[in-house]
Amino acid sequence: MSWLVALAVLSALIFFHELGHYSAARFFGVYVEVFSIGFGKKLLSFQWLGTQWQISAIPLGGYVKMKGQDDSDPTAISSDNDSYTTKKPWQRIIILLAGPLANFALAWVFFYAIALGGPQALSPIIGSVAKESPAANAGLQKGDIVRSINGERITEWNELSDAVKSSIGTLTLQIERQNMVHLLSITPKITETQNIFKETVQQRMVGIAPRRCHPYARPQFYRNHRLRIQANVRNLFSHFSKCSETSYRHRTRF
C-alpha cells in the first residue's frame, strides 16, 4: 500500500512539473503535441485543447512534447510560428524553467496550507489580569510576555500553564514589557474550579488569561521559515561552488 501512495505523490509532482512547461509553452504560443505522465508504452490517452494527454507504462517521470522539439531527431526543425524553435531565446528559457518553478510554487502552497490549517499555539502573552489575584499583586500587566519561569524558558502558553499548575511555592517570572526585562515573584493560589467533566477540582492559579490572537504570530512564522529557506538555498549554492572548485583543482593537479 505504501508504494501506491509513493507512486501517487510522485505522479502528482510530475504532473505539476510538466504542467509548468505546458502552461509556459501555451502562453508563448507554442503548440504542445503530447503531455505525458510516465515514459514508454502509452496506456491511456485522450485529446483536449489540441494536445494528446496520456499516461504511459513507466511512471518514473514525464514529458511535454512541443512542436519543433524532437530529441530523437534534433535536425527536425520547424519554422512555423507555433514552433518551439522559432521562439526567442528568453522565451525558451522561461519554458524550460517553468517546470521547476511550478514545483517550487506547489511547495509554497502546501507550506502556507499547513501553516494556516495546523494547530496554532498561543504565545505566552498575558491578555488579561484578574483583579486582586496573585498576578495583580505581583505586578503583572496586560501585554506582558513571559519569557521564563524559575529559569525554564517559556515559548507557549501551555508551558506557562503547566508550570503554574505543577508549582510548589513561589515562582520567579522573567517577563518582557516594552522591550524591558523584569523579574517578578508570584505565589499561585489554590482555587476550586471545574474540569472538562464538570468535576470540582483544586488547582493552582495566578489569575491571568492569554491573548487570544497575536497579530504578529503568523507573519513571524512565515518570516522565520522564509529566512530558513533562503539560508538553505545559499548553502546549496555555496556547497556547489566549493565542489566545483575542488573538482577543478583535482583536474589541474599533476
Q: How do the pLDDT tens digits run along the chain, 254 residues long?
A: 677 878 888 888 899 999 999 999 999 999 999 999 988 888 898 999 889 999 988 888 888 988 887 666 666 667 788 888 888 999 999 999 999 999 988 888 887 777 666 556 788 999 999 998 999 999 999 999 999 999 999 988 889 989 998 888 899 999 999 989 999 999 998 887 777 777 888 888 999 999 875 544 555 556 666 666 667 666 655 654 554 444 434 333 43
Q: E strand or H helix at 167, and its extent?
A: none
Please pick, among 18, 159, 192, 245, the residue that the annotation labels catalytic. Answer: 18
Nearest to 59 by CA among 46, 45, 41, 71: 41
Question: Is-contact 184 175, C-beta < 8 A?
Answer: yes
Q: What is the pLDDT at residue 35?
A: 93
Question: Of all helices (H) and strands (E), which one includes residue 150?
Answer: none
Exposure of 115 in the CB half-sphere (CA atoms within 13 A)? 16
Indicate the residue type of 244.
Answer: S
The CA distance from 25 to 87, in Å, is 10
Which among 143, 122, 142, 123 has a CA at the least distance from the CA of 133?
Answer: 142
pLDDT number for residue 173: 93
Quote the cell numbers at residue 215.
497579530
State which H helix or E strand residue 84 sits in: none
18 is catalytic: yes
For residue 170, give the C-alpha cell.
Answer: 513561589
- Quick one: pLDDT at residue 135? 92
CA–CA separation, 250 and 254 (whole Å): 8
d(CA 146, CA 157): 9
Structure confidence at residue 28 (pLDDT): 92
Picking from 21, 73, 18, 63, the residue whose alpha carbon sits closest to that of residue 42 is: 63
